[in-house]
Amino acid sequence: MIKLNTEKVKALREQHGYSQHFVAKYLGYTHKGAYSLLESGDRQPSVSKLGMLAKLYEIKVDDLLVG
């Protein structure tokens, strides 16, 4: 099972100066609440969303995962 490193994802977003709303729109979510669930760990992203996050932050997908 894919397990997102939620602390790292939040830290990356803040380091880049992005709002949750911005990242939600970038990922194609219609509401920031859907992205907020990712950061809180209540929802896991699809493989395609993981790829989009990695591209946004210019890192490898593996760097977004726990373990």
- Residue 67, domain member (yes or no): no
Q: Is 19 left (phi over 0), alpha (psi -120 to 50) or beta?
A: beta
Say if CB 23 and CB 15 are below 8 A apart. Answer: no
**pTM of the complete model:** 0.90
> For position 49, which CATH number holds?
1.10.260.40
Question: What digits encode the pLDDT tens for the residues 15-67?
Answer: 999 999 999 999 999 988 999 999 999 999 999 999 999 999 999 999 999 97
Q: How many domains does the chain have?
A: 1
- Residue 34, domain member (yes or no): yes
- Residue 1, domain member (yes or no): no
Mean pLDDT throughout 5-14?
A: 98
Query: Looking at this protein, which amino acid is placed at residue 12?
Result: L
Distance separating alpha carbons of residues 43 and 49, to the nearest angstrom: 12
- Residue 57, domain member (yes or no): yes
Domain span at residue 14 reads: 6-62
- Residue 52, domain member (yes or no): yes
Distance separating alpha carbons of residues 22 and 32, to the nearest angstrom: 8
